Amino acid sequence: MSISERKSREKEYRIKQIKDSAATLFYKKGFVATTIEDISELAEISKGTVYLYFKSKDDLYYSLVEPSLDKLSKNLIKIAGMKKISPKIRIKKAIDATYDFYVKDPDAYHLISRYDASVFSKLLSRDKLDHLKHLMRSNLDQLEIIVSDGIKQGYFHKHNSKMTAIIFWNTFMGIIQFQENRLEEGKTDYRRSTINGAMEIILMGISKR
């Protein structure tokens, strides 16, 4: 391993350290309540070092949220576009993709699920804010597309497809939140099964027999 390779690897590691610490704290205490000092202490570096790698606090937040959200967004777009696959299956795939994203990067998921534009409207630049909003909106759009396909193809009852997408989306978020609270209290992990059950109910509710 060359020196530059090692340096580059150490740099990557340092960035990961900071991002991990930030994600943990943002999740635990919220964006505003988390200070750069908190982050630097958890990452066991100095305050200045954070600014070596991230232009500002909101830049750090953005760099944490954007790639994960972007990836999920692209996955959902791909799934929504699989027109040959039945809408019911596609819905399940979309749920799987979202759950997968949640399991692989829970911190990022929480940042997204807690996302509250009003908190950041002063801190994030217009561009960044709009981009995040766009991604958030897109996820809902993909679900809507699938539902809409299901209606057109006669699988689902005629419902407002946007509304139906909202039902899926919010139920997902709500169950994760609720089940996590249960987990904290030391109970059995029913996250995946509850999600599945809930999605079944909604699918049942919208499907023709």
Partner DNA sequence: AATGAATGAGATTTCATTCAT
Partner DNA sequence: AATGAATGAAATCTCATTCAT
Q: Footprint of its own copies on this chain (CB under 8 A)?
A: 27-30, 32-33, 114, 116, 118-119, 121-122, 140, 157, 159-160, 162-164, 166-167, 169-171, 173-175, 178, 194, 197-198, 201-206, 209
In this chain, which of 12, 37, 100, 180 binds DNA, going by CB under 7 A?
37
Q: Is 118 in the site for DNA (CB under 7 A)?
A: no
CB of 168 to DNA, least distance (A): 35
> What burial letters (b/e) apply to 91-117, b meaning 16+ CB within 10 Å?
bbbbbbbbbebbeebebbbbbbeebee
Q: Is 7 in the site for DNA (CB under 7 A)?
A: yes
Contact between 53 and 40 under an 8 Å Cβ cutoff? The reply is: no
Select from DNA, its own copies, none the partner in contact with residue 93, using the beta carbon and a kind-dependent cut-off of 5 to 8 Å. Answer: none
CB of 137 to its own copies, least distance (A): 9
**Burial (0-12, 13-18, 19+ Cβ within 10 Å), 36:** middle
Q: Is 10 in the site for DNA (CB under 7 A)?
A: yes
Q: Which residues 6+ apart lie within 8 Å of 166 measured at CB? A: 140
In this chain, which of 51, 115, 155, 190 binds DNA, going by CB under 7 A?
51
Only segment of 52-60, 135-143, 174-182, 190-198 that touches DNA (CB under 7 A): 52-60
Select from its own copies, DNA, none the partner in contact with residue 104, using the beta carbon and a kind-dependent cut-off of 5 to 8 Å. Answer: none
Structure tokens at 91: 């819905």
Residue 18 or 203: which CB sits closer to DNA? 18
**Burial (0-12, 13-18, 19+ Cβ within 10 Å), 71:** middle
Where helices occur in the chain by DSSP H, the ranges are: 3-29, 36-42, 47-53, 57-80, 87-104, 106-113, 117-120, 126-152, 161-184, 191-206
**Burial (0-12, 13-18, 19+ Cβ within 10 Å), 38:** middle
In this chain, which of 34, 73, 98, 139 binds DNA, going by CB under 7 A?
34
Q: Is 14 in the site for DNA (CB under 7 A)?
A: yes
In this chain, which of 1, 2, 48, 118 binds DNA, going by CB under 7 A?
48
Can you give the binding site for DNA, defined by CB under 7 A?
A: 3, 7, 10-11, 14, 33-37, 45-49, 51-53, 55-58
